[in-house]
Amino acid sequence: MKTIPENRHLKIGGLIFPSMDQCDFTGPFEVLSRIPNSTFHTLWKDKGTVRDMRGLQLVPDTSFEDAPQLDVLLVPGGYGQEEAATNKEVLAFIREQAKRALYVYSVCTGALLCGAAGLLHGRKATTHWTAMEALPFYGAIPSDDRVVIDGNYVSAGGVTSGIDGSLIVAALLRGDQIAKELQLYMAYDPQPPFDSGSPARASAEVLNNVRARAQEITAQRLASAREYARRGLAPL
């Protein structure tokens, strides 16, 4: 695997936005912010406090205007992805950074935000299982894999898969050894108490309950995706 020379300083940035799912950001942050010889920027339009979908407060340290060209752009998801995807400033920032970034890395429904920015045409991608049907409307080729690499675009599935994807991004940048050391430092050794972490393994009752709770946002996401396709795969 070809990696980036260790003496090259890496600029890594993670987008935050109102009503995001903080774990899509904080899980990857735990990995990406520890990559040797790198700086991590927490990004939003301005430096005002952002609340995630459960009320957790996050504070950006870098505005869009002050952001350097990034080597890696992290795009998380969450319910607020729908509103962020209607914001021309947000989409323009993602598109401009993507032009010269080594990698764009989406977690969960951050893939739909990348789709709205026009980054998914003809690319393989994954997202949260409740949003998988929306991907083709953005020109993407859906994959059920937990982490998908297509050129310089990396996508991870729902929420906690962001940690897996971040370790892969770390390996792409600095090699497997560094990624393994980061994994050990984090004691990332998943041993879930229940085998219910995917639709394929969850009981019918659990699956139906979760689908019902996500029904409204799922419908919104499909409507947005269909509108994107109606415009002829043209971003805002």
Catalytically active residues are 108
Closest CA to 162 of 55, 11, 32, 10: 32
What SS3 state is found at 19? Answer: coil
Query: At 141, which helix (H) or strand (E)?
Result: strand 141-142
How many whole angstroms separate alpha carbon 140 and alpha carbon 117? 12
**In terms of DSSP H, where are the helices of the chain?**
22-32, 81-84, 88-100, 110-116, 161-174, 176-186, 204-213, 215-230
Q: Are 139 and 153 in contact (CB under 8 A)?
A: no
How many whole angstroms separate alpha carbon 13 and alpha carbon 228? 26
